[in-house]
Every structure is written in structure tokens, then in C-alpha cells.
Copies of this chain bind each other. A is one copy, B any other.
Amino acid sequence: MATQQRRERERAQRETLIVNAAREMAEADGWPSVTIRKLAERIEYSQPVLYSHFAGRGAIIDAVALQGIAELTAVFKAARTAAEPGDELAALAQAYLDFATANPALFEAIFTLAEGLTFGVDAPEVLKAAFAELYAVFAPLAGDRDPDAFTEVGWAAIHGLAVLNRGGRLRPDLLEQRLSILLERFARP
């Protein structure tokens, strides 16, 4: 019947409703205040409904993280394609750091809270696409080194800056100098 399809469509709608609500609540008041009860009240359903969509609170965070990774990938691509030739790395790094400061809760979900995401060979397509964007920027700069390893190191450098900066571990007045040093280290062979 067509009713079946409508049901599935409504279910999918409600699922994104949950994910969006969780993300907004986290961005507003932090992840600890994203509780099942408040989330249920927000979407105007009872708590067990959430468990018919997700295995638990952790799975909801994972879903938010996955959505965030997709957005991050889009941001990467936009930065890379909009950059002047030779400035791709600068654009990528800037986009990465901006994303981290603009969406702290989302960033946290992706890199420290998500625990149900699998990596490696059988990772979801979204993850591979995100790394592919990094690869597109770093691989041309790798020279005779392994492009994958080179990408990972470059990624780690940017990510480290983002993480330490988010934790208040770095001097705010050196922000620009850090970025220029980073670029200078990885931009040329």
C-alpha cells in the first residue's frame, strides 16, 4: 500500500527532526544538557519513541556526528574550489579552524563523542569523502612521500591546532602566526 511509504517517509522526517533538535540543543547548552527527556519533550513525543529510532543516546550523537562530517566535507570542497591555485591549503586550514569555532558542539560530537562510527576500510561513504577532500589538497604537496601518510600528518597538524585552541591551550595573540607557520611547513616541498 501507499500508506506504508507514507509511514516510512514520516519516520524519516521524524528521525531528522530528532537529529536536528539534538544538534541545536547541544550547540545551545552543551552536550551534557542534551538528555533523552528534554529531547523527547522538544520533539513532542515520549521517550520510547527515540529508542525506536536510535539504540540510545550514543547513537543519536553518532548520527549528529555523521551529519556534521557531511557538512564538513562540503565546507572543505567549497574552500578548495573557491581558492586561487596554490592557496588551497590556506583555504582548507582556515575553513577547518573556522568550522571548529563556529560549531563547537558539532566538532565535539565528531571527534570526541562519537563512538559508534567505524573507520578503516569499511567506513561509511561520508567519512571516505571527507578524507578524500583532505587528500585532494595535501597529496599534490606530498612530493615523493606517501600521499596518504602525508595527508594524515597535515590533517593532524590542522586538527591539533583546532583541538588545542578549543581547549584554551594556545595563546590567542599568536593565532595568525600559527597559521602562517603551518602553511609554510606543509605548502612547499
Chain A residues proximal to chain B, CB less than 8 Å: 111-112, 119-120, 145-146, 148-150, 152-153, 155-161, 163-164, 167-171, 174, 177-178, 181-182, 185-186
Which residues of chain B come closer than 8 Å to A150, judged between CB atoms? 181
Pick the contact of A159: B148, B163, B168 (CB < 8 A): B163
Question: What are 29 A-B pairs at a CB distance below 8 A?
Answer: A111-B167, A112-B112, A112-B167, A119-B168, A145-B177, A148-B171, A148-B174, A149-B174, A149-B177, A149-B178, A149-B181, A152-B164, A152-B170, A152-B171, A152-B174, A153-B157, A153-B181, A153-B182, A153-B185, A156-B157, A156-B161, A156-B164, A158-B160, A159-B160, A159-B163, A159-B164, A160-B163, A163-B163, A185-B185
Min CB–CB distance A118 → chain B (angstroms): 8
Additional A-B contact list (4), CB under 8 Å, known A156-B157, A163-B163: A111-B167, A119-B168, A156-B182, A160-B163
Copies of this chain present in the complex amount to 2
Min CB–CB distance A141 → chain B (angstroms): 11
Cα distance A54–B126 in the bound complex, in angstroms = 43
Q: Is the CB of A111 within 8 A of B177?
A: no
Which interface residue of A146, A160, A167, A170 has the most chain B CB atoms within 10 A? A160
Which residues of chain B come closer than 8 Å to A152, judged between CB atoms? 161, 164, 170-171, 174, 178
Which interface residue of A158, A159, A168 has the most chain B CB atoms within 10 A? A159
Which residues of chain B come closer than 8 Å to A145, judged between CB atoms? 177, 181
Cα distance A142–B186 in the bound complex, in angstroms = 15
Min CB–CB distance A116 → chain B (angstroms): 12
